[in-house]
Amino acid sequence: MTLLLGILLGALIGLSLGALGGGGSILAVPVLAYVLGESARSATTGSLFIVGVTAVFGVWGHARRGNVRWRAGLGFGAAGIAASYAGTALNRIAAPTVLVLCFAGLMVLSALGMLARNRTRRGEGVPPPRREPVGGGGVAAFRSTGGAAGNSAGGAAGNLTAVAQAAALAAPSRGLTFAKVIAAGLAVGFLTGFLGVGGGFIIVPALVALLAYPMPAAVGTSLLIIAVNSATALTVRAGQGTFHWSVILPLTGAAVLGSLAGRRLTDRVSGTALSRAFALLVLAVAAYLLIRAATGTA
């Protein structure tokens, strides 16, 4: 009965990964630790396998739809490799209670971030005010000459002005964006190694905000990054982590099937509704972990 419940929750883990591009490991660790009785350290190791394999299948499905940005995803994942080693080293020496408290805190931050992004998306439905083009020489020239030649010359001048200003701003902007992507990659890599999480709740908003990816591309690319980070952390733990395959493999199978359903679910239910429901679930699980830690039963 316990394993059956774990399998059902494994499907929910995959559903989150397939629909939202993250969040699966936020549930995988508590399921392994508190439903199936794994130790905190074994749960973080098992979570890496479950989420990593599920992410690989998710990448395959999203790639068929053209929703994976391979170069950006591999670059983002590569940035977190060194940090993943550092996180794994810290995981080995951290007390189980510390791992639980850190994980619960991360769950709260993840859920609040999801809810905040939902509020932001609701505001994006209002179209921005119309603005005159930079260097509006086209309109001024047309009015001054009353002819198409004036409009053409003025438009060209306005375009040149816009190009010049864009060129002056592009280099610093690209440099700042690159630095933010690297910083996000390092943070995700560290969290993957330390707590066994894929970090999709950081990756997806970073890809949307910093690289202006549409949500489907952000989800698909996030799964690629999660797969890279999980593989790296698992490689570091090989021979040292504890793998209870009789528990891990059924959950992995359920998660893979759930991810396939999650990808289809995005065609029927809005991402806002999905992430809101998932955020509330994460907050409830985080509260449960904190209560257990406070009562000394973590």
pLDDT value at position 69?
92
Q: Give the model's pLDDT for residue 267.
A: 67
How many angstroms separate the most distant Cα atoms in the chain?
A: 83
- Asked which of 167-171, 174-178, 208-212 is least confident by mean pLDDT, the reply is 167-171
- Quote the mean pLDDT of the chain: 75
CA-closest candidate to residue 179, choices 197, 201, 206: 206
User: In angstroms, what CA-CA distances link 117 with 5, 109, 200, 209, 279?
Assistant: 31, 12, 14, 11, 11
- Position 170 scores a pLDDT of 42
Model confidence at 107: pLDDT above 70: yes
Structure tokens at 120: 């932001």
Asked if the model's pLDDT at residue 217 lies above 80, the reply is yes
CB 46 within 8 A of CB 223: no
Report whether 68 contacts 61 (CB < 8 A): no
Q: Residue 169 has what pLDDT?
A: 41
Mean pLDDT of 252-260: 88
Least confident range from 19-23, 106-110, 222-226, 278-282: namely 19-23
Tracing tokens 């001048």 back to the chain, one arrives at 157
Rounded Cα distance between 222 and 259, Å, is 13
Q: Give the model's confidence band at 104: pLDDT under 50 very low, under 70 low, under 90 confident, else very high.
A: confident
Query: Which residues are CB-neighbours of 158 under 8 A, at least 6 positions away?
Result: 133, 134, 135, 136, 137, 138
Q: Which residue has the higher pLDDT, 112 or 152?
A: 112
**Over pLDDT 90: what percentage of the chain?**
4
Structure tokens at 11: 């499907």
Per-residue pLDDT tens over the stretch 135-146: 434 333 333 444
Q: What is the pTM of this model?
A: 0.70
Confidence label for 57 from pLDDT (cuts 50, 70 and 90)? confident
117 or 76, which is more confident? Answer: 76
pLDDT at 258 > cutoff 60 = yes
Distance CA 162, CA 133 (A): 8
Query: Which of 32-46, 167-181, 236-250 has the highest mean predicted lDDT (pLDDT)?
Result: 32-46
Q: Which residue has the higher pLDDT, 109 or 198?
A: 109
Across 42-54, average pLDDT: 88
Q: What is the DSSP letter of 241?
A: S
pLDDT band at 232 (very low <50, low <70, confident <90, very high): confident
